[in-house]
Structure 1
Amino acid sequence: MGKRLRVAKSICSCASPRYTSASLSSFACRHDDDIWTEIAKYLDGKSLVMLAATCKWFLSVIMHDSVWKYACLRDLQVPDCCQTTFKWINLYASAFGGSHSYAFRQKEKHIDWMRIGAFCFNSSDAFLTEKLICPSKLPKEDTIQNMLNTYGSCLLHNIKTGIWIADLQLIRCPVCDLNTCDGTMQVLDARHMELFLTEEYQKGNWEYKLVGSHDVRKLVDCAAGGIFDIKHLKSSTTADLFNLKSWVGSHGDWQPKAMVTCHAVAINTNLQANEGLHIKYHVMTSGETGDVVSIRISQQLL
């Protein structure tokens, strides 16, 4: 493996002018496709593109969908848990191209963001909460709003299964239009991996809808939020997320923290003296009666 890795790291230098396309093809054709497919597993997306650009033979090998599928799953650190309707090279570019949901809409409100990671929905049911404590039982109320009022958490159904990507967004206060406003709102922003490639989303035909909100009108120590696949809520990997001491910042650390596991994601930001939080839950569906393809939990100081 060490020898292959050295070859993988140096192979992109073949793009140097001293190598011709013919010499590259002659060199590559002395080796089987599956050898180069194996070597490609050690390259990131940029290096794969550079290698594919050296000659037609490498282009045919590197552009194989299995190569980009491996790279995407490896760099997202998720298992192969779904079928896709798009090519993996396009999914890779969508995931690692530096874009986020606020880049498509509300650019004027956006301040900063960070990538948390990726996780999988194996079931179509989600548990959303602003209390990072594993519940002894799931909330049972007739509406999402009543669940939030009673438990500070809720259930969502019809989730699009597969790989989801999670970001932490920092947004300007939504109640004013002043660029100098110091008011900010943090958003746990999760989306299905295919969302940015979907034509209806790109056209702006799918929008976020508010499904519930409530106020916590008392001093709160932190602004936290989590999205969980209900099927794995009690699993050992998800339990790591509820072990707050392992990842949440200590008292006086005001930097946002985040953690992702195989089937869940959560954020936590310690807060200074305050009068409470205003919390909103938004979802985007693929059409009026389609699957949920994106979820946002936003939190703003009162």
Structure 2
Amino acid sequence: MKDSAFSSIILIFEEYYRISENIRKCSTRSSYTVENFHRYEEDLWIEVAKCLDGKDLIRLAVTNRWFYRLIMEDSIWKYACLRDMQVLSPHHVSFKWFQLYASAFDGSHAYCFRQKEKHIDWMRIGAFFIETPSAVLTEKLALPSKLMELEEDHNRAIQLSGACILTDIRTGIWIADLQLVRCPVCNLNTCEGTMQILDVRHLELFLEESFRNGSWQFEDIGSHRIEKQSNSASGGVFDYKHIHSPCTAGLLNTSGWLADPGDWQPRARISTHAVAVNTNLQPNDGLHVRFQAMRSKGSDGKVVSIRISQQLI
């Protein structure tokens, strides 16, 4: 909501309060009273808060102590977070929703924390929900016919089909970004170009101390080389439970969202339980594709971030 709209709401309630006070003072014969009207009516302001974005919520919170106490209620930030990310509500979160909202909308991405010198540009795709601890990772926007075989050997599955099924994933809200970085992040010494990365992470990742201090690192799942002309660089992450759902079918039906030939701008699409990207490529000798995952340490050991990177050979 714009500043002018926010100011208008404040003025409306100020004027309503002023008029009500005048009625109370001047209309001694009137049966109408405003004794029960309160300027700081909590239920009313909660409804107002639901119309505000994060910045306006903060502006309202610093008005006075009463508004600060009201606006910092976790339920308000949960509503704002789910509304602005357009995702389902998780059963449990480990941090306050105010922190989660800030982490999602403060403009930060994975390369803000490490390898800053390698980063060129990025694009926020959006948020999606992983309901089950298994997901299909693919470099193609067409899934293999025999999905169950992808679970056995990740590296072999990636080399044969360009896809794998990753298990032990932390369920909940995930955020997807498209990153453009400089090589040799990929450890190929012969490359002098750039690399496209579909970078997805659990909503809570940036708040985890073990991530921030560098204890959690990416590990290779598998990789392979496509040693022929590649017309595009694609990637996708799909919640395994919803792999055949209509929302996933919309991502795999690429006729409606891929760029036309000769259009080099990246395209991305997100649904309730999946995300996919595609970028048209100029003439080339092929691609090196790499799949990576970051796991939390300790008893949890869940996957908290996934990357599918593609680099021109």
Settle same-fold status: TM greater than 0.5: yes
Q: How far apart, CA to CA, are the structure 1 residues paired with 2:176 and 2:129?
A: 11
> 1:279·1:298 contact (CA, 8 Å) conserved in 2?
yes
Q: Which residue of 1 aligns with 2:96?
A: 87
Q: Which of 240, 244, 247 does residue 230 from structure 1 map onto?
A: 240
Identity %: 55
Query: Does structure 1 residue 50 correspond to structure 2 residue 48?
Result: no
Q: How far apart, CA to CA, are the structure 2 residues paired with 1:213 and 1:276?
A: 14
- C-alpha displacement at 1:31, in angstroms? 4.5
- C-alpha displacement at 1:196, in angstroms? 0.3
Q: How far apart, CA to CA, are the structure 1 residues paired with 2:149 and 2:96?
A: 40
Q: How many residues align?
A: 282
Q: Which residue of 1 aligns with 2:259?
A: 249
- C-alpha displacement at 1:158, in angstroms? 0.1
- C-alpha displacement at 1:188, in angstroms? 0.2
Q: Which residue of 1 aligns with 2:304?
A: 293
Deviations along 1:51-109, whole A, 9 cap, x unmatched? 00111111111110010001111111112133101000100000000100011010000
Q: Which residue of 2 aligns with 1:156?
A: 166
Deviations along 1:160-203, whole A, 9 cap, x unmatched? 000000000000011699xxx96100000000000000111111
In structure 2, give the amino acid aligned to 1:222.
S
> 1:82·1:161 contact (CA, 8 Å) conserved in 2?
no
Q: How far apart, CA to CA, are the structure 1 residues paired with 2:218 and 2:148?
A: 24
Q: Which of 30, 43, 49 does residue 40 from structure 1 map onto?
A: 49
- Which structure 1 segments of 5+ residues have no match? 1-5, 15-27
Q: How far apart, CA to CA, are the structure 2 residues paired with 1:60 and 1:209?
A: 43
Query: Does structure 1 residue 213 correspond to structure 2 residue 223?
Result: yes
In structure 1, give the amino acid aligned to 2:85.
L
Q: How far apart, CA to CA, are the structure 1 residues paired with 2:38 and 2:69?
A: 12
* RMSD, aligned CA: 2.2
Q: Which residue of 1 aligns with 2:28?
A: none
Query: Does structure 1 residue 204 correspond to structure 2 residue 202?
Result: no
In structure 2, give the amino acid aligned to 1:296.
R
Query: Does structure 1 residue 138 correspond to structure 2 residue 147?
Result: yes
Q: How far apart, CA to CA, are the structure 1 residues paired with 2:279 and 2:41?
A: 51
> 1:82·1:163 contact (CA, 8 Å) conserved in 2?
no
Q: Which residue of 1 aligns with 2:131?
A: 122
> 2:132·2:241 contact (CA, 8 Å) conserved in 1?
yes
- C-alpha displacement at 1:288, in angstroms? 6.2
Deviations along 1:206-254, whole A, 9 cap, x unmatched? 0111111100111111000000000000001111101111111011110
Structure 1 runs, 4 residues or longer, greater than 2 Å off: 6-14, 28-32, 134-137
Q: Which residue of 1 aligns with 2:29?
A: none
- TM value normalised by structure 2: 0.85
Q: How far apart, CA to CA, are the structure 1 residues paired with 2:8 and 2:242?
A: 42
Q: How far apart, CA to CA, are the structure 2 residues paired with 1:120 and 1:203?
A: 26
- C-alpha displacement at 1:287, in angstroms? 1.1
Q: Secondary structure at the match of 1:140?
A: helix
In structure 2, give the amino acid aligned to 1:301.
L
